[in-house]
Amino acid sequence: MNPLLATVRRDVLLALRRKSEVLTAVFFFVIVTSLFPLGIGPEPVLLKKIAPGILWVAALLATLLGLPRLFAADHLDGTLEQMALSPSPLGLLVAGKILAHWLLCGLPLVLLAPVLGLQFDLDASALGILTLALLLGTPLLSLIGAIGAALTLGVRGGGVLLALLVLPLYIPALIFGAGAVEAHIAGLDVGGHLSLLAAMLVLAAFFAPWATTAALRVALE
Amino acid sequence: MHWNSVGDFFAMGGYALYVWGSFGACLVLMVVEPLLARKRLTEVRDTLARERLADELDHQSGTS
Amino acid sequence: MLKVSGLACSRGERRLFSDVDFSLGTGEWLHVQGANGAGKTSLMRLLVGLSPADAGEIRWRGETAPSTEFRRDLIYLGHHAAVKEDLTPLENLRLATALDGVTLNERSALAALMRLGLRGRENLPVRVLSAGQKRRVLLARLLTRPAVLWVLDEAFNALDVGAVKLLGELIAEHLGNGGMAVLTSHQPLPVPGGKALVL
Amino acid sequence: MGNHGGLEGGIGVKQSIIHWFKYASPQSFYPLAGRMIPWFWAAAAVFGIAGLWISFFVAPTDAQQGEGYRIIFVHVPASWMSMFIYLVMAFWAGLGLALNTRVSGMMAQALAPTGALMAALSLWTGAFWGKPMWGTWWVWDARLTSELILFFLYLGFMALQAAIDDPRRADKAGAILALVGVVNIPIIYFSVKWWNTLHQGSTINLNKAPSMAQTMLWGMLLMALGFWMYSIAVALTRVRAIILERERHTEWVKHALE
């Protein structure tokens, strides 16, 4: 079997055996987005205006929540060492782990977003753009986040440090992702936003596994 | 030279707070930072000197 | 085939060892000895390429290690269990080999687990196994892939008497088939012959 | 024959450069830095005084912004330095990663606080400029926003290095982060710029900077040179401290301090 797919299968299987870890991030996403209307007030015009930003920031934080565990368990029980010494290229295994992280953490957010968008009075076409933007953006969040997770592996205060390292790098994804939905609501063309998100995704898909691999080798030394 | 008096200079045409607030902050931080760097250097040197002194004392009393 | 020359390693400011030289040919094994903290584990990690050496060179089949070929020929088992508690021994074994790019059919996996005395426990979650049994799940990996060089760090620890004897037999068999092994241990090992390296 | 010799000469030079980097040891760098520091301080003082003279006594009052525009003479150099230092830091970090030289990582570590200071000064002076000009301390202008993000990148780099005890590991992890940051800085800058133009209606256009007179440009350049020399001097002082901290148990440190 292809080592990349084998890694994905392994991580998904592990997550299914321990469902709570996956569900935590999803619940977090649902609760945080639902808190905003309670804090701001139920006025539909205002909610509609801030919806893209809120859903995106919540997706960003929910992704961040799962990141410290991306490599930690494999690091603790020695599986990461075995991966580094495997005849398969470590970059491929790392790419598999990132893909699994997206399937378990990013994809549920993408699927839930249209439902949560209803709370903010978004119409069907805006919900469609939101889902599409998240579909392009959440893999980007997983890819960039993996670099941070690898850099902070086994480091004091890793979780907070991870947020400090990763959040500034998430800003372009946030701007174009939320911007696409805002532009659509304002009646503007969203092609530019989405193609820039796609371009960043391609760039990150090339570089992030490589940088993550380098960081993991440093962490294992 | 377009300042008529010292007071005129410090008033900065009504922008005193902003101009001196900016230049002052730069001055303060750019004095403090080198002092901190300097302090770090002298502290390492002091520690190393004390360590060496302790080694020498050990040597003299023959406990090393 | 394995040639190590002038290897040196320091941890922080402390020099652990320097000028370590040895070579291994087919059917030979090396016993790395030394007190706690002498750098046995560091040497093993250096040897397999997990951490960089301060100086020295490791050559495998004449080429500088670590290379992909070296990794294909290598199995390294360290202190860690490297076993997932939520999976069964069978799943653990098959997924671990799949990561190495090797497909292990169920029958060979079951055979390997049986050889290590885990018969009947193949489909229990590893969580409910004893420490010794977990260790056996890890050791089953030795039988899943035709690797020439086994690097085993403290592999005989946490094993009961039966397992120690079994591992000794496995290593002897491996050497008999032209394999090589590098082992660390405090205790005398139940494997005949072997070179010794004292750190 | 001549061609052949030329090729060999080229390789020889290249090798000697790599050789020089590889063995640019802390041991030889420590006294060298010590000798250079006073010169950089002197240069910083000369450029700084000249720059300040132009800033306050030569540059004319601006037609639109009155005397308030004079903040430009510290704001722009601080912004330039904050960006430039990040590039230099990433360069040293990358060099350390590629050639495994010890001094490179120490240089990157020594530069980070100064870069963060420059970013902080740029934000501070930007706010003090914004208040009288647009009536608010902070606007989500593209330049201010990307400066803020740059400041966060510095903080992340410093926090990561501080959290890892083993200096060799800290250097490598920091280097990877710095390189990732360098790739991201243009992306962040253009995304923020685009975001800003999209929302132009709600913000103030910052591009109404005073038309640049020749003397103003000179003032800014001199101040920037002064900031540059200052940064080098402080970074060298800090790198000396870092060298001693890391090499405290080597023989040469014991001799160097006698």
Which tens digit of pLDDT belongs to each residue from D180-208?
999 998 898 888 888 877 665 444 444 54
> For an interface test with D, which of B30, B31, B42, B43 has the most D Cβ atoms less than 10 Å from its Cβ?
B30
CA distance D30 to chain A (A): 27
Contacts of D248 in chain C (CB under 8 A): 13
The topology under which CATH files domain C1-73+147-199 is Rossmann fold (3.40.50)
pLDDT at D23 over 70: no
Task: Let me know: does B21 contact D126? Beta carbons within 8 Å.
Answer: no
Note down pLDDT in tens along chain C; length 199 residues: 889 988 888 877 778 888 889 999 999 999 998 888 888 888 999 999 998 888 888 999 888 878 888 999 999 998 888 899 999 999 999 999 999 888 888 999 999 999 998 888 989 999 999 888 898 999 999 998 889 999 999 888 778 888 888 999 999 999 999 999 999 887 778 888 888 888 8
Say yes or no: C74 contacts chain A, CB-CB below 8 A.
yes
Structure tokens that stand for B29 in this block: 């931080």
> For an interface test with D, which of A94, A151, A184 has the most D Cβ atoms less than 10 Å from its Cβ?
A151
Q: What is the pLDDT, as a whole number, of residue D19? A: 58
Distance CA B27, CA B32 (A): 9
Q: What is the pLDDT, as a whole number, of residue C112? A: 92
Q: What is the pLDDT, as a whole number, of residue D141? A: 79
Say yes or no: C154 contacts chain A, CB-CB below 8 A.
no
pLDDT at D11 over 70: no
Give the containing element (helix H, strand E) for D10: helix D2-22
Whether the complex's predicted ipTM surpasses the cut of 0.95: no
pLDDT digits (tens, 9 = 90+) for A106-152: 999 999 999 999 989 888 999 999 999 999 999 999 999 999 999 99
User: What one-letter code names the amino acid at A42?
Assistant: P
| CB pair distance less than 8 Å for D70 and B33 | no
Residues 6+ apart with CB under 8 A from C134: C81, C83, C126
Distance CA A137, CA A100 (A): 16
| CB pair distance less than 8 Å for A169 and D195 | no
D33-40: Cβ within 8 A, 24+ apart: D33/D236, D33/D237, D33/D239, D33/D240, D34/D240, D36/D236, D37/D233, D37/D236, D37/D237, D40/D229, D40/D230, D40/D232, D40/D233, D40/D236
| CB pair distance less than 8 Å for D152 and A179 | no
Say yes or no: D132 contacts chain B, CB-CB below 8 A.
yes
pLDDT at A12 over 70: yes
Give the containing element (helix H, strand E) for D250: none
Distances (CA, A) of D68 to D100, D131, D145, D205: 48, 10, 22, 17
pTM of whole model > 0.90?
A: no
Distance CA A36, CA A47 (A): 9
Distance CA A15, CA B13 (A): 67
Indicate the number of domains in chain A.
Answer: 1
Contacts of D74 in chain B (CB under 8 A): 22-23, 26
Q: Which domain holds residue A111?
A: 3-220
CA dihedral C48, A100, A199, D98 (to 10 degrees): -10
Residue of C nearest to D248 (CA): C13
Residue of B nearest to D246 (CA): B44
Contacts of C81 in chain A (CB under 8 A): 77-78
Of A63, A54, A194, which is closest to residue A138 (Cα–Cα)? A63
Of D125, A149, D16, D91, which is closest to residue B26 (Cα–Cα)? D125
Three-state DSSP class for residue C37? coil
Distance CA C115, CA C140 (A): 8
CA distance A79 to chain C (A): 5
Confidence grade of residue D45 (pLDDT, cut at 50, 70, 90): very high
Q: What is the 3-state secondary structure (H, E, C) of chain A?
A: CCHHHHHHHHHHHHHHHCHHHHHHHHHHHHHHHHHHHHHHCCCHHHHHHHHHHHHHHHHHHHHHHHCCHHHHHHHHCCHHHHHHCCCCCHHHHHHHHHHHHHHHHHHHHHHHHHHHHHCCCCCHHHHHHHHHHHHHHHHHHHHHHHHHHHHCCCCCCHHHHHHHHHHHHHHHHHHHHHHHHHHHHCCCCCHHHHHHHHHHHHHHHHHHHHHHHHHHHHHHC
pLDDT digits (tens, 9 = 90+) for D168-180: 899 999 999 999 9
Residue of A nearest to C45 (CA): A221
| CB pair distance less than 8 Å for B19 and D67 | yes
Contacts of D26 in chain C (CB under 8 A): none
pLDDT digits (tens, 9 = 90+) for D101-152: 889 999 999 999 999 999 999 999 988 888 888 888 888 878 888 899 999 9
Question: Angle at CA C65, nearest 5°, toward C34 and A218?
Answer: 75
User: How many C-D residue pairs are in contact by the CB < 8 A criterion?
Assistant: 3
Confidence grade of residue D59 (pLDDT, cut at 50, 70, 90): confident
| CB pair distance less than 8 Å for C13 and D249 | yes
Residue of D nearest to A211 (CA): D176
Mean pLDDT, all residues of chain D? 83
User: What one-letter code names the amino acid at A164?
Assistant: L
Say yes or no: C51 contacts chain A, CB-CB below 8 A.
yes
Partners of C197 in beta bridges: C32
Task: Select from A1, A7, A84 the Cβ nearest to the Cβ of C50.
Answer: A84
Written as one string, the DSSP assignment of C150-196 is EEEESTTTT--HHHHHHHHHHHHHHHHTT-EEEEE-SSPPSS-S-EE
**What subunits touch chain C, counting only 3 or more CB pairs under 8 A?**
A, D
**CA A178 centroid distance within chain:** 14
Mean pLDDT of D21-34: 78
Contacts of A176 in chain D (CB under 8 A): 191
Residues of chain A that touch chain D, judged by Cβ-Cβ distance less than 8 Å: 147, 151-152, 155-158, 161, 164-165, 167-169, 171-172, 175-176, 179, 182-183, 196, 200, 207, 211, 214-215, 218-219, 221
Task: Let me know: does A157 contact A221? Beta carbons within 8 Å.
Answer: no
> For an interface test with B, which of D37, D57, D61, D74 has the most B Cβ atoms less than 10 Å from its Cβ?
D74
Residues 6+ apart with CB under 8 A from D127: D137, D138
A24, HSE (Cβ side, Cα atoms, 13 Å): 12
| CB pair distance less than 8 Å for A161 and D184 | no
Task: Let me know: does D136 contact D91? Beta carbons within 8 Å.
Answer: no
Residues 6+ apart with CB under 8 A from A99: A4, A7, A8
Q: Which residue has the higher pLDDT, D5 or A46?
A: A46
Of A58, A68, A35, A180, which is closest to residue A112 (Cα–Cα)? A58
Query: DSSP state, C118?
Result: -
Distance CA C46, CA C55 (A): 11
pLDDT at D1 over 50: no
Q: What is the pLDDT, as a whole number, of residue D205? A: 46
Three-state DSSP class for residue B22? helix
Structure tokens that stand for A96 in this block: 């598999």
Partners of C77 in beta bridges: C152
> For an interface test with B, which of D52, D122, D227, D237 has the most B Cβ atoms less than 10 Å from its Cβ?
D237
Pairing of strands C2-11, C149-153: unpaired
User: If you search the block for the tokens 């990132």, which residue do you land on?
Assistant: A98
**Phi, psi (rounded to 5 degrees) for D158:** -65, -40
Distance CA C138, CA A41 (A): 57
Distance CA D203, CA C143 (A): 68
Mean pLDDT of D76-97: 93
Say yes or no: D249 contacts chain C, CB-CB below 8 A.
yes
Report whether the peptide linkage leading into residue A168 is cis, meaning its omega lies within 30 degrees of zero. no
Q: Which residue has the higher pLDDT, D117 or B63?
A: D117
Q: What is the pLDDT, as a whole number, of residue D2? A: 36
CA distance D169 to chain C (A): 11
Q: Per mean pLDDT, which range of A191-200, C51-60, D74-83 is the poorest?
A: C51-60
| CB pair distance less than 8 Å for A1 and C98 | yes
Residues 6+ apart with CB under 8 A from C164: C156, C190
Say yes or no: D35 contacts chain C, CB-CB below 8 A.
no
Mean pLDDT, all residues of chain A? 92
Distance CA D258, CA D240 (A): 16
> For an interface test with A, which of C73, C91, C99 has the most A Cβ atoms less than 10 Å from its Cβ?
C99
Q: Which residue has the higher pLDDT, A8 or D142?
A: A8
Residue of D nearest to B20 (CA): D71
Domains of chain C by residue range: 1-73+147-199, 84-145
pLDDT at A97 over 60: yes
pLDDT digits (tens, 9 = 90+) for C94-124: 999 999 888 888 999 999 999 998 888 989 9
